[in-house]
Amino acid sequence: MSLVKSISGIRGTIGGRVGEGLNPLDIVRFTAAYAVSRKKDDKKLRIVVGRDARVSGEMVEKIVVGTLLGMGCDVINIGLATTPTTELAVIGEKADGGVILTASHNPKQWNALKLLNERGMFLTDAEGKEVLAIAEKDDFIFAEVEELGIETKKDYLPYHVENVISLPLVDKEAIEKANFTVAIDCVNSVGGIAIPAILKALGVKNVIELNCTPDGNFPHNPEPLPENLTQISDLMHDGRADVGFVVDPDVDRLAIIKEDGSMFGEEYTLVACADYVLSHTKGSTVSNLSSSRALKDVTEKHGCVYSSSKVGEVNVTTEMERTGAIIGGEGNGGVIYPASHYGRDALVGIALFLSHLAHKKCKTSQLRAEYPDYQISKNKLQLTPQMDIDTILIALKGIYKMYDIDDRDGVKINFPQGWVLLRKSNTEPIVRIYSEAPTMEQAQKFADAIIAEIKRLTGSK
């Protein structure tokens, strides 16, 4: 059984002893702590709750809603809803926060409480630490009977869909005229409700649906990586669809499949959407340190400025606000478009991508060929007791001091033809080593050189 407590929320496997898994007592404790952290005055709190379709969702929802009511909070329960829908609902309701019940791409035995502030954004580092500190004390005062909260149930998907199709750069007329055939894989979660709805609103009449029953029985590993997407890839290999879209269980990540069944590349979801936005509106862009250099290349091609952030969605959105970026996100297929809201949103990604494809009047594979081609190698190294990762990172900075080095989040070494990023995991005794270059062979060489240096420095084999 696993329970992981972090600033962005609480995630764990369902069941087990208290403190070992995400069980009812722990759900109550962390939900109550979140309610306390949101309370800034005597005003009654209003909290939005939404969930993905995983099997444990209904159980967790009842406990979270009941706890919030018991803490004297009014709850707007939007039921089965995507993560971006819940984020938008917080804004639409002018609520004091939100709780999203989703373990994102984790397998079905996992669930999580993802916590939002009053702006529909994930908690900051300070806000998250406050929740954890309150939960640690385990000393709560629940509401008297006259002060219990009231639950209201609403469906916010129509609001979300209208928000997306109303965006000035979403060209419904062009999409409808293009008469696309679109294949989708929604991994039997809330995407099975939301993705057909947005496609219909965009005027897409020909949709091939895979795994769109929102019952939480994931037909394959729910992380939208190439090795997990063989079903839709096999379906599309003969060109029966113009493009394929795959989402994770909470619909904040978007993977794109080319018309021949091959992968567009998760790093290039954001790149393509940014290219479209920048071709119409000049402005800056942001992605995190582990995302592809391709976004920087495309941004500079449009005469605009790119900047990077530490890894983590809240860090990306913070940097986007600081720089006034018009689009940003993460290389895992996460598109953040502030014209809609500050959160990764696959519905926004689909609308922008289809608008782009319709304007280009080309095949999905031809569009992908327009972008710089980089390959990312993802490696990890098990930490042993004799490995002091902080000392190792300092040593590596000295060894590679002739190159541009970014040490905001681990150590990133920028070479002329690529980069390597080393970060210590927050949840496992490992160091992650990501590298990028024009070829996978070169990317792996970068990573292997760093791993060899680490082993030399620690005297390990």
User: Hey, which residues are catalytic here?
Assistant: 104
* Parallel, antiparallel or unpaired: strands 110-116 and 9-13: antiparallel
Which residue, among 373, 371, 379, 377, has the nearest Cα to 438 in the 3D structure?
A: 373
Contact 352, 169 (CB under 8 A): yes
**What is the Cβ-side half-sphere exposure of residue 8, based on CA atoms within 13 angstroms?**
17
Contact 175, 150 (CB under 8 A): no
Strands (E), 263-302: 285-288
Report which residue type is found at 183.
A
For residue 456, give every residue at least 6 positions away whose Cβ sits within 8 Å of its Cβ, in sequence order, or none: none
Beta pairing partners, 50: 79, 100
443 φ/ψ sector (left φ>0, alpha ψ -120 to 50, else beta): alpha
CA 326 vs CA 163, 290, 387, 388, 453: distances in Å = 17, 20, 41, 40, 39
Tokens standing for residue 96: 């004091």
Tokens standing for residue 169: 């750069």
Run of H or E including 198: helix 191-201
Buried b (16+ CB within 10 A) or exposed e, 21-34: bbbbebbbbbbbbb
CA distance 57 to 43: 29
Contact 171, 352 (CB under 8 A): no
Q: ∠ CA(385), CA(390), CA(393), 5° rounding?
A: 115
